[in-house]
Structure 1
Amino acid sequence: MSKLLLFGSSALIYYDHCRSLPRVSVSGPDLAAADFAPTAAMVRYALRAVPSLAVPLHVSVFAEHERRQKVARCHVAPTSVRDASFGRVAEGLFVPSPGLALAQYGRGRTLPDMVLRGMALCSCYALDEQDCLVERIPLTDPSALERATRLHRDVPGCRLAREALPWMVSGAASPREAALAAILALPPRYGGYGFPKPKLNARIDLPRKAQGLADTAYYVADFLWEEQRVVLEYDSDAFHLTSERHHHDTVRRGVLESLGYRVIGVTRMQLNVRGEMDKVAVVLSRALKRPLRIRAQRFRSQQAELWRIAGLGASSQWQ
């Protein structure tokens, strides 16, 4: 039986849908003698084993003679990939580490795209078979991605992956949270607002006096700038609040503000409309005491491109 090693975009699709890393790890030297030339039967097997995969399948091969472009998109592995370890997804089907998959994906991409793909790997969500969001522990973190860029310098997309690292944030609970984090942190030359990176889904411990009013020992802030004591909350259902939820949010805001935090809300509608997000950015810049410096000549076109890459807009399926 031949074997398949997923590459780049195909590997990232697998990671989008998995809730944990593969349990079994196999080293490249142990696989070196295997036949990785893709066959039609093996591609059909991979698509059955991982239904989320899309065609054409992107795979790594270890020799030029193993390339079969009509069956799958084949990429000849450089030296560092041959020495790496791979996770076993199913019998005969393997996947590179998240960091290597991201580096492979980087060839021909843009930096905002790489930031969003990296943040997806570092997120607290995955997609189930119906592409609905489910919780998971992050598969990796920016420091591990940085180590991968040092190990795989000979991978063509590695340089862009390394350049994207400064704007990646861990812990997003949804694609829209990741998109909002990227929009806030990326510099204006990429269509963002250039704010300092926030912490996502960060715990704020409450003093004993506040716990009675809040009926909890801590809150979790969607976005937190700890030094400036600024909290930004993303509310995907601002127009569908129950009275109980409205009461909870009012108490939450009051408790946080009594502790010296500035609380700013962002609704789904605001995030969908660039002009509305510009207004949010002005409010946030004042709260952070960080003036907006949007001097990029092509900011509006870059902003529109960033929104497109992030999948934002009124028709977006993510809440």
Structure 2
Amino acid sequence: MKAFLVDISAFQIWFGDQGVIRTNNPIGLVGDYDLAASRRTDLPLDQIGKLGLRGQIHVAVPNHARRHHQAGITAHVMSSPAPCSFVRLSKDVYVESPEATLIRMASHLDHGELAVMVNQLLSHYRICNGAIVSARPLSTEARLLQQLKQSKGKRGAKIVRTALAYAVVGTASPAEAKVAALLTLPARWGGKGLPVPEANAEITLVPSTSRRCVTTDPASAEMVIRNGTKRYADYLWRAWKLILEYDSDEFHASREKLGADSARRAELQRAGYTVVTLTNRQLSNNEELSVVVGTLLNKMGMKSKTARIENYHELERELRRQVFSYDPRIIGMS
């Protein structure tokens, strides 16, 4: 018999800290789903145990006859899964796809939690054994939109479609995903309502005639190419040539790194880009963050939308709580 992991179990696998081998190859649910089980004696517990799941094991079954209530196992009836909504983890274990998991979880999450989850889904990092590592995105906007089309009418689909309008693709750490949520979510939810930026955006600077050699430095994510030098901006609004750099480690950065960052920013400014810096201290203080956002809006020629919201400060505090309390390790554990 087969195990089809869903809900909290699928969430832990895709968004938690398991360090499991992940695959993005969807499969059709033709024959195997008929073998979906929820009875402990029928489940491949040896294979499931290797995934490091915590708490209840959530599995899907095709009908109520297969739904058995046993300690440690929660069964969900899913009579007709959308095509390609599961991927195979091992011989007898399947897991709901990242896109389907997002849609299923959406109705259980607050605006801030969902925004961070969407950004994480489209990010270029993973948490693996407690460390942030570079990785290909779990999904893409195109694949998520396709899943939404297949899931039309299902609980959570409309919520995810709304959240996707504020998603920032390509963040490189949990902190970047959270900052992006605060910046782009609408003022009516407590966000700053900024246009959606590009995250870790590539910028090619055309060298001057007196081009000097620059040594490749992976730590600062830069390299020399034939027609210019590549730089990467934490958040870029390309239409305004406006960059926001987030210094998440301002108190721990080495003198060498600070010097390299300063030189890089000066080079971007010479190329016509406006570079604004956001520090952890500014991020943690509502008033200081508003000053930084005001600077960005001024460069864009826009006005803040927060002043129109009567109870904005209360909404902002609540959104901050949601965003900064988001932790994939504890979702669904209470």
Tell whether the structures are fold-level matches, with TM greater than 0.5: yes
The alpha-carbon deviation at position 96 of structure 1 amounts to 2.0
Q: 1:237 aligns with which of 249, 260, 275?
A: 249
One-letter code aligned to 2:31? D
Match of 1:30 in 2: 31
Is contact 2:27-2:86 (8 Å) kept?
A: yes
Are residues 1:227 and 2:252 paired?
no
Q: Counterpart in 2 of 1:95? A: 95
Larger deviation, residues 119-128 vs 232-241: 232-241
Partner of 1:317: none
Cα 1:111/1:240, change in 2 over 3 Å: closer
Of the candidates 238, 245, 262, which is equivalent to residue 250 of structure 1? Answer: 262
Instruction: Indicate the RMSD between aligned Cα atoms, in angstroms.
Output: 2.4
CA contact (8 A) 2:13 2:20 kept: no
Per-residue CA shift, 1:188-245, capped at 9, x if unaligned? 1111100100000001101111863865411100100000010111111212332222
User: Does the 8 A contact of 2:184 with 2:191 survive in 1?
Assistant: yes
Q: With structure 1 as the length reference, what TM-score do the two structures score?
A: 0.88
C-alpha displacement at 1:44, in angstroms? 5.0
Residue 169 of structure 2 is matched in structure 1 by 170
- What does residue 189 of structure 1 align with? 188
Match of 1:298 in 2: 311
Could you give the per-residue CA deviations for residues 61-118 of structure 1, whole angstroms, max 9, x where no partner exists?
A: 2111222344323221142x16445211123211122211111112333333222211
**Alpha-carbon contact 1:112-1:164 (below 8 Å) kept:** no
The corresponding residue for 2:2 is 3
Letter in 2 for 1:193: K
Q: CA deviation at 1:33?
A: 2.2
- Name the SS of the counterpart of 2:212 in structure 1: helix
Q: How many Å separate the matches in 2 of 1:195 and 1:20?
A: 36
Separation in 2 of the partners of 1:165 and 1:86?
21
* AA partner of residue 136 (structure 1): A
Is 1:276 aligned to 2:277, yes or no?
no
CA–CA distance in structure 1, aligned partners of residues 245 and 201 of structure 2: 11
**Equivalences for residues 102-141 of structure 1 within 5 A:** 102-129=102-129, 131-141=130-140
The answer to whether the Cα contact below 8 Å between 2:24 and 2:138 also exists between their aligned partners in 1 is: no
Alignment partner, residue 316 of structure 1: none
TM-score, scaled to structure 2: 0.84
Indicate the SS of the match to 2:259: helix
* Number of matched pairs: 309
% identity of equivalent residues: 26
Q: Contact between 2:110 and 2:322, CA under 8 Å: does it hold in 1?
A: no
Q: C-alpha separation between the residues in 1 aligned to 2:261 and 2:25?
A: 44
Tell me by how many angstroms 1:19 deviates.
Answer: 7.8
2:278 is aligned to 266
Mind listing any 5+ residue stretches in structure 2 that lack a counterpart? 216-223, 327-334
SS at match of 1:120: helix
CA distance in 2, matches of 1:231, 1:222: 7
Distance 1:39 1:104 in 2: 24
2:145: which partner in 1?
A: 146
- Matched with 2:331 is none
Q: Hey, what's the Cα distance between the residues in 1 that align with 2:243 and 2:211? A: 18
Q: Secondary structure at the match of 1:32?
A: helix
8 Å Cα contact 2:246-2:277 kept in structure 1: yes
Q: Which amino acid aligns with 2:148?
A: T
Q: Structure 1 stretches of 5 or more lacking a match?
A: 314-319
* SS state at 1:28 partner: coil
Give 1:310 deviation, angstroms.
1.7
User: Aligned pair in 2 of structure 1 residues 49, 252: CA closer, same or farther (>3 Å)?
Assistant: same
- Separation in 2, partners of 1:251, 1:213: 14
Deviations 1:13-59 (A, max 9, x none): 211256874266442122232032242784854652211x2212332
Q: In the TM superposition, what is the alpha-carbon distance from 1:266 to its structure 2 partner?
A: 1.0
Tell me the secondary structure at the aligned position of residue 202 of structure 1: strand
Contact 2:197–2:237, Cα closer than 8 Å, also in 1: yes
SS at match of 2:315: helix
Matched residues in 1 for 2:112 and 2:21: separation?
Answer: 25
